[in-house]
Amino acid sequence: MTEQGSTDTFERRQRPPGSDPGRLGTIVFGVVIIAIGLWFFAERTLGLDLPRIEWRALWPLALIAIGAWIVLGARNRRA
């Protein structure tokens, strides 16, 4: 087999851009983690007076976000 033939086979195996169903969820999760880290950094290190967050009141939002991620992921796989 020539080198050109193996390159053609490799190119056919690659996924087209935008076909990774978990990519959006990974990006959103990363952005949320960065935002939380920046919040704590600004409050603790820089001494900015940010509003207090009651994490006990926000945990249902995490459940909503996870559920939405699952539903949207399943919908995108069906389409």
Residue 5 falls within a domain, yes or no?
no
pLDDT, position 79: 55
Residue 1 falls within a domain, yes or no?
no
pLDDT, position 70: 81
Rg of the chain over CA atoms, in angstroms? Answer: 21
Q: Give the tokens for residue 16.
A: 């087209």
Residue 16 falls within a domain, yes or no?
no
8 A C-beta contact, residue 42 and residue 50: yes
Give backbone dihedrals phi and psi of 62, rounded to 5 degrees, phi first: -65, -40
pTM, two decimals, is 0.51
Positions in the chain short of pLDDT 70: 1-22, 76-79
Residue numbers of the domain that contains 30: 22-78
Tell me how far apart the alpha carbons of residues 76 and 26 are, in angstroms, rounded to a whole number: 15
pLDDT, position 71: 83
Residue 37 falls within a domain, yes or no?
yes
10 Å CB burial of residue 39 (0-12, 13-18, 19+) is middle
